[in-house]
Structure 1
Amino acid sequence: MPTATVVSVSMGVMKPVLEKLTTLMGDEYKKLKGLRKVVTFLQRELSDMDALLEKMDLADELDPQANNWRKV
Structure 2
Amino acid sequence: FQLWANLPKSLKMTDPRYQDILAKDIPEVVDDDGTRVRVICGEFWGKTGPVEGVAADPRYLDVWVPPGVRK
TM bin, normalised by shorter chain, reads: under 0.3
Structure richer in strand, relative to its length? 2
Higher relative contact order (Cα pairs below 8 Å, separated by 6+ residues): 2
Q: TM-score, normalised by structure 2?
A: 0.20
Q: Which has the larger radius of gyration?
A: 1
Q: TM-score, normalised by structure 1?
A: 0.20
Structure richer in helix, relative to its length? 1
